[in-house]
Structure 1
Amino acid sequence: MAGERLEFAPLDASGIVGDRLWGVVDASSERIASPGREKHFIEVPRGYARWTAQDGPAISADGTSWARPDDAEIIGKLSLLFGFPAQLKPFVRRGQEGFRPRYEHAPIHLLSTAALRSLEREMPGSIVDERRFRPNIVVDWPDEQEPIPENGWLGREIRIGDAVLKGSVPCGRCGFITIAQDGIPLDVELLRTVVKRHNRNFGIYCDVLVPGEIKPGDTVTVAPVSA
């Protein structure tokens, strides 16, 4: 539930098809899981989720045994793993009434490898791993004078594969980037550094102007700044 690498991803106006369709909820309080803000939810990233066009969403407590999100047995295993009575609820799409995500800033979150390397140089003793930041798209980009090059892509079109995005706003960060995940230790200094050096922002949000399919290895082209 912390993310996975995809061999290809279709994009529509709402983002990556199949992404963030369901939310983890504490059934005893109806609170949506927020690992970066409440220790109560800190184990949630240890769960697994996937989506395929053939079978739709599936969840797992160990990454090997999969079931539908409403399967009672797998929900019981996730409850034991998380430490609270878990429930998975489907989110409604943008513009609809019903159960909505905690965050709906933009359809796509984009982060560059140049930004990651810049943060590594600022924090040589830390593990700066892209999984901490949960981007939809990681762009392989050379180092520039600007430590976060994608900050300069706001308001510009970004073509990737068949899709065209537009940078909208910087991505503000919370405590989620500090929590321990698989092979990544707790690091509270990470958020402090992002707050101090980058005004709490790291990466950008994007809107989808032209839907299409993207995949690893696609060329990324950023349109010139409008006159």
Structure 2
Amino acid sequence: MAEIIGVVERIWRYPVKSTGGERLDSVEVDSRGLAGDRLYAVRDGHGKFGSGKTTRRFRRMDGLLRLSARLGHRLDAPVLLDPLGSPVADPDAFLRAYLGREDVELAREDAVSHFDQLPVSLLTTATLDWVRAACPAAAVDERRFRPNLLLRTPPGTPPFVEDTWFGREAAGGGLRLALIRASERCVMTAAPQPGLPHAPEILRAVATHHGNRLDALADVTAPGRIAVGDELRLV
């Protein structure tokens, strides 16, 4: 019998890269990932995407995580929400004033992917509970780690159980995922966002005790629909 590794407790989609996401009851998943996930990004005049870090593809833009976004069923233009959760009428004008940059705009993905790494991220409650125990003074929430799927694991499951899944596939709700590796964590883990103050001790704990890695990243090997309450099994 296939091993149950968890039950889907929450589903998160992030319509605009590096901003807060939206909770879903269910979602279609194809080879690109969750429908509409990171479909948009804040792009500057050099074609770099707003992020928590600066690299060849990304430019650090502080404050994006205080914003959030949601999408309609047709995955048309996202509704951008300000730090108080109110919809923004003109996203480009708002972003230019908010970031103090005249060269930024909200851009839909085209030839260059908005993903940092792989398309789907899974995190277990066992690992999240470890972070809470390691950082008792911090406000710990899965939103700091931006998973797509938060899995409720059975009692007694050890933290970082995700590491034991790599090289295998998981299936649930008609969806099949190839579990490959963990995310390398960056300053966004500690960054403030609505309801969660700055907490650098979280990133330090993950770096010290687990090589700065946390979650399971996956490719989609068979598209399908996943819903809260679905069991995910190793196959």
Q: 1:74 to 1:88 in 2, by over 3 A?
A: closer
Equivalent residues of 1:46, 1:182 under 8 A apart: yes
Code of the aligned partner of 2:194? D
Aligned to 2:171: 159
For residues 16-71 of structure 1, the C-alpha deviation after alignment (integer angstroms, 9 at most, x for no partner) is 011111111234x543212245995121122232222335231324344356xxxx
* TM-score normalised by length of structure 2: 0.81
How many Å apart are 1:206 and its aligned residue?
A: 0.8
Determine if contact 1:61/1:78 at 8 Å carries over to the other structure: no
Check 1:126–1:154 CA distance in 2 against 1; reply closer, same or farther (3 A cut): same
Task: Classify the secondary structure of the residue corresponding to 1:20.
Answer: coil
Q: 2:68 is matched with which residue: 35, 48, 58?
A: 48
Q: Following superposition of structure 1 onto structure 2, how do residues 4-83 of structure 1 map, counting pairs within 5 Å?
A: 4-27=22-45, 29-36=46-53, 41-54=61-74, 56-62=76-82, 63-65=85-87, 73-83=90-100
Give yes or no for contact 2:144–2:190 (8 Å, CA) kept in 1. yes
Amino acid at match of 1:215: A
Structure 2 segments unaligned to the other structure (5+ residues): 1-18
1:101 aligns to 2:101 (yes or no): no
Contact 1:151-1:170 at 8 Å conserved across structures:
yes
What is the Cα deviation at residue 111 of structure 1?
0.5
| C-alpha RMSD over aligned residues | 2.2
1:131 is matched by which residue type in structure 2? R
TM-score norm. by structure 1 comes to 0.84
| Residues 95-141 of structure 1, C-alpha deviations (whole Å, 9 max, x = no match) | xxx333361x2120110111000111111111111001110111111
Counterpart for residue 129 of structure 2: 117
C-alpha change, 1:54 and 1:35, in structure 2 (3 Å) is same
- Aligned partners of 1:167, 1:76: CA distance in 2, in Å? 40
Deviation at 1:222, TM superposition (A): 2.1
CA distance in 1, matches of 2:227, 2:118: 20
Identity of aligned residues (%): 30
Greater RCO (Cα-Cα under 8 Å, separation 6 or more): 2
2:6 corresponding residue in structure 1 = none
Conserved? CA contact 2:48–2:59, under 8 Å: no
